[in-house]
């Protein structure tokens, strides 16, 4: 691991969460001279983790918040359609309502959406390169590819009407536009109803997100990080100083801590007085092993709101959002919808694929209502750094987030402005 020329006082840092953000924070904290302990009850990159089941996109152009002006008009539809691209379970609505109101108000105007896009661009702009460097360090360069991703549309009209693409252009994102003939040349197996495409060449993909996170964790451990298999339940302060991470297995003494526990970060921040509006966006994927057909490029279908990505384990389709909390049972019909979209997009896929070759997954995206993660110090102490709430960009955003965490721990100036991500914006 390359070492930093910066010298800092060595402290014992407990990083809660061994997902992509947590393990990269560990690597970067080690790089700046800290002693690090990773705390997570599950295996890094295991089936239980959002870092395993995500779409695998390194979409440095994913800077647009989920809500936009006029989204409030769609809320009744979200409530009425449990299988739609964004669904809200009626039973969870009372709990979700405060978050939902903030979600709608945060993107009420075009100016608000653009401000978020500019902040997110700073966080994501060279993420595929940063991930490639990390993968090389960890000995798995083959898992990160930087050859662009494609968005496909039934016609040019929905692209032209999309505020998000207009704002992407304003914040400096470039792309290649494809007409119907160019689409057919690039994607011969794609259904001919898709007649317009956009290729964002700066973006990339991960061939196996779970294996990638596991390799990064192993890299951190090989360079001195310790690992504790325990569920953290809170933080304990003495005045304005951190004393310990409280876990189900007992207290873990430390001088500093990083809360990178994804959708389960809310309880941890509340334990030291920061009641932050973190919600879980429940996501699903379906994956076909050894598929007979599929895309040549990783792509997102505009009509299905779904990413299709080749992984080393199979063809993965992931996407859509369900607001139903951490504890509700999965609605596996949502995974079936993804599967049907996949068959519809690629008609050469046989309908009689044996069930043993079709895998489904369900997990939790940690989401703040304004589409920006929380990256910054706790209000009660500078000994605790928050790094969670990345929503749909956890994997791609993890590379720079880990660098920012190390800078905050070391008292160094952050490499991008952190005001848009300050937890205090909700306190």
Residue 238, CB half-sphere, CA atoms under 13 Å: how many?
A: 6
- Tell me the Ramachandran region of residue 17: left when phi exceeds 0, alpha when psi lies from -120 to 50, beta otherwise: left
Task: Give me the domains of the chain, ranges plus CATH numbers.
Answer: 12-54+211-275+371-426 (3.50.50.60), 60-204+279-367 (3.30.9.10)
Edge to edge, the sheet with strand 204-206 lists 57-58, 204-206, 144-145
Distance separating alpha carbons of residues 327 and 176, to the nearest angstrom: 42
What is this structure's pTM? 0.96
DSSP 8-state assignment for residue 390? B
Distance separating alpha carbons of residues 203 and 212, to the nearest angstrom: 17
| DSSP conformation letters of 228-259 | E---EEEEEEETTEEEEEEETTEEEE-SEEEE
What are residue 102's phi and psi, to 5 degrees?
Answer: -60, -40
3 state DSSP class of 223: coil
What is the CB neighbour count within 10 angstroms for residue 286? 24
pLDDT tens digits along 289-311: 999 999 999 999 998 889 999 99
Distance separating alpha carbons of residues 87 and 101, to the nearest angstrom: 15
According to DSSP, the residues that pair with 100 across neighbouring strands are none
- Residue position matching structure tokens 């653009």: 114
pLDDT tens digits along 338-351: 999 999 999 999 99
DSSP 8-state assignment for residue 285? E
Mean pLDDT computed over every residue of the chain? 94
Give the list of residues 6+ apart from residue 20 with CB closer than 8 angstroms, or none. 51, 209, 212, 213, 216, 394, 395, 398
Spans of the chain, pLDDT less than 70: 1-11
Distance separating alpha carbons of residues 413 and 298, to the nearest angstrom: 36
Distance separating alpha carbons of residues 281 and 88, to the nearest angstrom: 10
- Six token digits for residue 203: 């973006």
Looking at residue 3, its pLDDT comes to 45
Give the list of residues 6+ apart from residue 315 with CB closer than 8 angstroms, or none. 287, 288, 291, 294, 308, 309, 342
According to DSSP, the residues that pair with 308 across neighbouring strands are 299, 317
What is the CB neighbour count within 10 angstroms for residue 89? 18
Distance separating alpha carbons of residues 278 and 31, to the nearest angstrom: 30
Looking at residue 85, its pLDDT comes to 83
Give the list of residues 6+ apart from residue 106 with CB closer than 8 angstroms, or none. 65, 67, 112, 116, 369, 370, 371
- Six token digits for residue 74: 């769609």
Q: Identify how many contiguous H helices and E strands the chain contains and give both numbers.
A: 13, 21
- Residue position matching structure tokens 């400096």: 172
What is the CB neighbour count within 10 angstroms for residue 370? 25
Distance separating alpha carbons of residues 372 and 198, to the nearest angstrom: 25
Best CA proximity match to 278, nearest among 423, 82, 85, 109: 423
What is the CB neighbour count within 10 angstroms for residue 49? 25
- Residue position matching structure tokens 């401000």: 115
- Tell me the Ramachandran region of residue 222: left when phi exceeds 0, alpha when psi lies from -120 to 50, beta otherwise: alpha
According to DSSP, the residues that pair with 362 across neighbouring strands are 284
What is the CB neighbour count within 10 angstroms for residue 327? 7
């Amino acid at each position: 691991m390359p070492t930093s020329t910066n010298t800092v006082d060595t402290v014992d840092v407990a990083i809660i969460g061994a997902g992509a953000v947590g393990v990269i924070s560990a690597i970067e904290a080690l790089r700046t001279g800290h002693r690090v302990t990773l705390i997570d009850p599950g295996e890094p990159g295991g089936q239980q983790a959002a870092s395993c089941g995500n779409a695998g996109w390194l979409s440095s152009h994913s800077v647009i918040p989920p809500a936009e002006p006029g989204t409030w008009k769609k809320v009744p539809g979200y409530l009425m359609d449990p299988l739609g691209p964004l669904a809200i379970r009626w039973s969870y609505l009372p709990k979700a309502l405060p978050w939902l109101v903030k979600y709608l108000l945060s993107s009420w105007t075009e100016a608000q959406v653009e401000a978020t896009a500019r902040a997110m661009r700073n966080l994501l702009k060279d993420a595929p390169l940063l991930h490639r460097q990390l993968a090389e360090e960890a000995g798995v360069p083959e898992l990160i590819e930087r050859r662009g991703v494609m968005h496909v549309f039934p016609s040019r009209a929905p692209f032209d009407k999309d505020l998000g693409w207009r704002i992407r252009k304003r914040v400096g994102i470039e792309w290649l536009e494809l007409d119907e003939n160019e689409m057919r040349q690039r994607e011969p197996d794609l259904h001919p109803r898709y007649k317009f495409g956009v290729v964002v060449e700066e973006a990339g993909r991960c061939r196996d997100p779970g294996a990638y996170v596991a390799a990064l964790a192993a890299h951190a451990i090989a360079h001195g990080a310790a690992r504790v298999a325990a569920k953290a339940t809170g933080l304990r302060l003495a005045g304005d100083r951190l004393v310990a991470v409280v876990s189900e297995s007992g207290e873990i003494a430390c001088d500093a801590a990083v809360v990178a526990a994804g959708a389960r970060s809310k309880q941890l921040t509340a334990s030291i007085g920061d009641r932050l509006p973190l919600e879980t966006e429940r996501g699903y994927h379906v994956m076909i092993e050894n598929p007979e057909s599929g895309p040549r490029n990783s792509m997102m279908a505009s009509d299905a709101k779904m990413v299709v990505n080749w992984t080393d384990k199979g063809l993965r389709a992931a996407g859509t959002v369900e607001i139903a909390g951490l504890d509700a049972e999965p609605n596996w019909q949502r995974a079936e919808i993804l599967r049907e979209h996949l068959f519809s997009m690629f008609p050469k896929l046989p309908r009689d694929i044996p069930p043993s070759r079709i895998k489904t997954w369900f997990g939790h995206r940690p989401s703040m209502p304004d589409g920006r993660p929380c990256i910054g110090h706790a209000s009660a102490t500078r000994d605790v750094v928050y790094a969670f709430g990345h929503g749909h960009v956890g994997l791609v955003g993890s590379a720079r987030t880990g660098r920012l965490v190390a800078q905050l721990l070391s008292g160094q100036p952050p490499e991008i402005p952190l005001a848009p991500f300050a937890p205090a914006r909700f306190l």
